């Protein structure tokens, strides 16, 4: 079974899904990520789905579950690069991915995490 590699950049884990995953592959990724968050003590997880052609309810659920798990482990999950056609289809399907933060691309996803970290460190009231 093909496994999706998990990259570590500072205290952020980055996953880029590049292949059409089987359901077991999706579940394996979910477990691998939870393990990796605990092991590395990462503060953020970025899942890049810019190469993913469809997101069905199974993958949708995986994304929501990863977000919930990492929140419990004090890490924030950001899903980046969802294609317009995929987003339209997900809305039609009835999946809103509540609780999952999103960004247009990897760069903006990283910026979103940095913003949050800065806010934590400085905590300047506005």
Partner 1 sequence: MTDAIELPIAANSDVVLVRQRVRTSAQQVGLSLVDQTKVVTAASELARNTLVYAGGGRVRIEVVGNGARGGLRLTFADEGPGIPDLELALTDGWTTGGGLGLGLSGSRRLVDEFDLDSEPGKGTRVTVVKWAR
Partner 2 sequence: MTVHGDADRLRIETLLREQEERILKRWLDIAGAAAGGRADHGVLGGRMREIYQAMLRSLSEGDDSTDLRGLLAELSRIQAREGFTPSDTAVLVLSVKEAVYETIEASEETAALRGYIWFSKFVDDLALYTFETYVTAREKIITDQSEQLLELSTPVVKLWEGILAVPLVGTLDSARTQVVMEKLLQALVETGSEHAVIDITGVPAVDTQVAQHLLKTVAAARLMGAECVVSGIRPQIAHTIVTLGIEFGDIVTKSSLSDALAHALRQSGVQLTQGASKRVVVATERA
Instruction: Enumerate binding residues for partner 1 (CB under 8 A).
Output: 20-24, 53-58, 60-61, 83-86, 88-89, 92-95
Residue 94 partner contact from partner 2, partner 1, none using kind-dependent CB cut-offs of 5 to 8 Å: partner 1
Q: What's the closest the beta carbon of residue 27 comes to partner 1, in angstroms? A: 10
- Shortest distance, CB of residue 104 to partner 2, whole angstroms? 5
**At its nearest, how many Å lie between partner 1 and the CB of residue 85?**
4
Identify the CA nearest to 83 among candidates 110, 47, 49: 49
- Closest to partner 2 by CB, 73 or 106: 106
Q: How remote is the C-alpha of 122 from its chain's centroid? A: 26
Tokens of 92: 């039609």
Q: Which of partner 2, partner 1, none sits in contact with 82, Cβ below 5 to 8 A by type?
A: partner 2
DSSP bridge partners of 9: 12
**In the complex, minimum distance from the CB of residue 4 to partner 2, in angstroms, rounded to a whole number:** 21
How far, in Å, CA of 7 to CA of 14, rounded? 5
List Cα–Cα distances, 125 to 40, 113, 114, 117, 120, in angstroms.
Answer: 31, 19, 17, 15, 11
Binding residues for partner 2, per CB under 8 A?
79-80, 82-85, 87-88, 90-92, 96-97, 101-105, 108-109, 111, 115
Question: Token pair 């950001």 is at which residue?
Answer: 78
């Amino acid at each position: 079974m093909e496994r999706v590699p998990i990259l570590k950049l500072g205290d952020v884990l980055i996953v880029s899904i590049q292949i059409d995953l089987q359901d077991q592959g999706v579940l394996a990724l979910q477990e691998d990520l939870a393990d990796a968050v605990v092991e590395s003590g990462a503060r953020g997880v970025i899942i890049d789905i810019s190469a993913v052609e469809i997101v069905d309810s199974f993958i949708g659920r995986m994304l929501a579950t990863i977000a919930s798990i990492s929140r419990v482990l004090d890490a924030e999950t950001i899903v980046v690069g969802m294609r317009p056609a995929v987003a339209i289809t997900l809305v039609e399907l009835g999946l809103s991915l509540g609780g999952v933060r999103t960004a247009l691309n990897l760069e903006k996803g990283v910026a979103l995490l940095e913003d949050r970290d800065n806010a934590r460190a400085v905590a300047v009231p506005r």
